[in-house]
């Protein structure tokens, strides 16, 4: 335990700011348990303000790498920077945001540091041997595995919204401007098309009305939208509506978006385990399905065996009346 000279410690990094904050919340807990320092790495262009703010979210130290060439995520550049910081200061735990860019970054960093990596941890703790223990969904949603490390550093990746964003408060910490070399890129992004985000991200939705194979035609999505509107929520779907029918571009499930709304209403969704793994943390799950044997009923708080074409409008009308 060598907190005072900056050796050891818990580090967090994500190119997504909100995810950095969520990991700082959990990271603080882990660092306190180990009686060590919590550090964050901030890489970008004009990000001094963000670095300062991270101290208020609990960081004892913020490594700031601020340069106009680092505006956007670049795999090799970011990787080289974090690797060099880690080689210099030897963190014992590295939490990396599990985004589409962050996860491969964590994998490559682990390889360079000769470290083990546990991806997509939905829970993290320290065991009585002071090892990090990560819990992740595995076997296609059939199991939650508890995994620990046999060597250091211990690298874990953390998905968005797995942990609560901490409260901002007064905290003593320092921002350290760090030197860096930009490692040359091996790939070139020739075009970048932002996705249309017409509404809030589905991970943020408080209620979700989702459709599955039970929907007969694309226009019927309007039924779900009507219900979602009353609830102030969003519409989602299961994978067949993306893969087979191409009605949506994104699905909810283990390989898609993992959501945890207050209310999840599954309409005509059979409830295969991969889908269920993506909705597990919802507060209340409602299932509407014609098939009384559909597995979705096993994981629902409220189930209606019936035709979604009748039940969904009836629920919408009843809610409308009650909410007036």
Window 182 to 221, contacts with other proteins (CB under 8 A): 186-195, 197, 206-207
Taking CB under 8 A as the criterion, the residue among 20, 74, 110, 289 binding other proteins is 110
| Phi-psi group of 239: left, alpha or beta (phi > 0 → left; psi -120 to 50 → alpha; rest → beta) | alpha
Closest to other proteins by CB, 170 vs 188, is 188
Closest to other proteins by CB, 21 vs 55, is 21
Minimal distance in Å, beta carbon 56 to other proteins? 26
Q: Does 159 contact other proteins by CB under 8 A?
A: no
Query: Rounded to 5 degrees, what angle do the CA atoms 168, 70, 250 make?
Result: 70
Integer Cα distance of 269 and 295 in angstroms? 9
Q: Does 297 contact other proteins by CB under 8 A?
A: yes
Taking CB under 8 A as the criterion, the residue among 84, 89, 138, 225 binding other proteins is 138
Collapsing DSSP to helix, strand or coil, 69 comes out as: helix
Contacts of 322 (CB under 8 A, 6+ apart): none
Binding region for other proteins (CB under 8 A) out of 22-30, 35-43, 117-125, 213-221: 117-125
Integer Cα distance of 42 and 16 in angstroms? 10
Integer Cα distance of 88 and 254 in angstroms? 37
Taking CB under 8 A as the criterion, the residue among 3, 56, 107, 123 binding other proteins is 107
DSSP H/E element including 75:
helix 75-89
Taking CB under 8 A as the criterion, the residue among 57, 63, 78, 149 binding other proteins is 149
Q: Does 129 contact other proteins by CB under 8 A?
A: no
Question: Considering CB under 8 A, how many residues would be counted as binding other proteins?
Answer: 87
Retrieve residue 202's tokens: 């589905």
Minimal distance in Å, beta carbon 309 to other proteins? 10
Burial class (CB in 10 A: 0-12, 13-18, 19+), 289: buried
Q: Does 162 contact other proteins by CB under 8 A?
A: no
Q: Does 4 contact other proteins by CB under 8 A?
A: no
| Phi-psi group of 90: left, alpha or beta (phi > 0 → left; psi -120 to 50 → alpha; rest → beta) | left
Closest to other proteins by CB, 143 vs 222, is 143
Minimal distance in Å, beta carbon 285 to other proteins? 6
Closest to other proteins by CB, 176 vs 242, is 242
Taking CB under 8 A as the criterion, the residue among 29, 280, 289, 294 binding other proteins is 280
Q: Kindly list the distances between the CA atom of residue 222 and the CA atoms of 58, 87, 313, 318, in Å, as whole numbers in the listed order.
A: 44, 54, 11, 18
Q: Does 299 contact other proteins by CB under 8 A?
A: yes
Q: Does 35 contact other proteins by CB under 8 A?
A: no
Taking CB under 8 A as the criterion, the residue among 50, 90, 108, 165 binding other proteins is 108
Closest to other proteins by CB, 45 vs 232, is 232
Binding region for other proteins (CB under 8 A) out of 3-11, 22-30, 51-59, 293-301: 293-301
Q: Does 273 contact other proteins by CB under 8 A?
A: yes
CB 23 within 8 A of CB 12: yes
Tell me the per-residue interface mask from 52 to 81 with other proteins, x by CB under 8 A, - otherwise.
-----------------------x------
Integer Cα distance of 183 and 145 in angstroms? 36
Integer Cα distance of 97 and 18 in angstroms? 10
Closest to other proteins by CB, 174 vs 310, is 310
Query: Comparing C-alpha atoms, which of 289, 240, 239, 234 is closest to residue 262?
Result: 234
């Amino acid at each position: 335990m060598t907190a005072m000279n900056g050796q050891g410690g818990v580090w967090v990094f994500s190119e997504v700011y909100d995810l950095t904050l969520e990991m700082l919340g959990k990271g603080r807990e882990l660092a306190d348990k180990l009686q060590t320092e919590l550090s964050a790495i901030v890489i970008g262009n004009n990000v001094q303000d963000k670095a300062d703010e991270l101290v208020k979210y609990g960081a004892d130290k913020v490594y700031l790498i601020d340069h106009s060439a680092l505006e956007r995520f670049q795999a090799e550049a970011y990787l080289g920077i974090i690797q060099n910081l880690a080689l210099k200061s030897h963190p014992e735990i590295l939490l990396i945001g599990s985004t589409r860019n962050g996860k491969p970054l964590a994998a490559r960093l682990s390889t360079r540091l000769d470290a083990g990596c546990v991806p997509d941890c939905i829970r993290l703790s320290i065991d009585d041997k002071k090892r990090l223990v990560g819990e992740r969904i595995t076997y296609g949603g059939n199991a939650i595995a508890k995994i620990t490390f046999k060597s250091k550093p211990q690298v874990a990746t953390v998905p968005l919204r797995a942990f609560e964003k901490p409260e901002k408060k007064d905290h003593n910490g320092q921002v350290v401007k760090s030197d860096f070399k930009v490692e040359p890129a091996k790939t070139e992004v020739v075009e970048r098309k932002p996705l249309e985000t017409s509404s809030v991200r589905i991970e943020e939705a408080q209620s979700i009305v989702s459709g599955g194979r039970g929907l007969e035609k694309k226009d019927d999505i309007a039924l779900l939208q009507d219900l979602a509107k009353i609830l102030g929520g969003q519409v989602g779907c299961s994978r067949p509506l993306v893969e087979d029918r191409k009605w949506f571009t994104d699905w909810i499930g283990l390989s898609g978006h993992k959501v945890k709304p207050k209310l999840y209403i599954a309409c005509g969704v059979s409830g295969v385990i991969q889908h269920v793994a993506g909705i597990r943390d919802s507060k209340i799950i409602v299932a509407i399905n014609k098939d009384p044997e559909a597995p979705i009923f096993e994981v629902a708080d409220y189930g209606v065996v019936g035709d979604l074409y009748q039940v969904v409008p009836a629920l919408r009308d009843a809610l409308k009346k009650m909410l007036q």
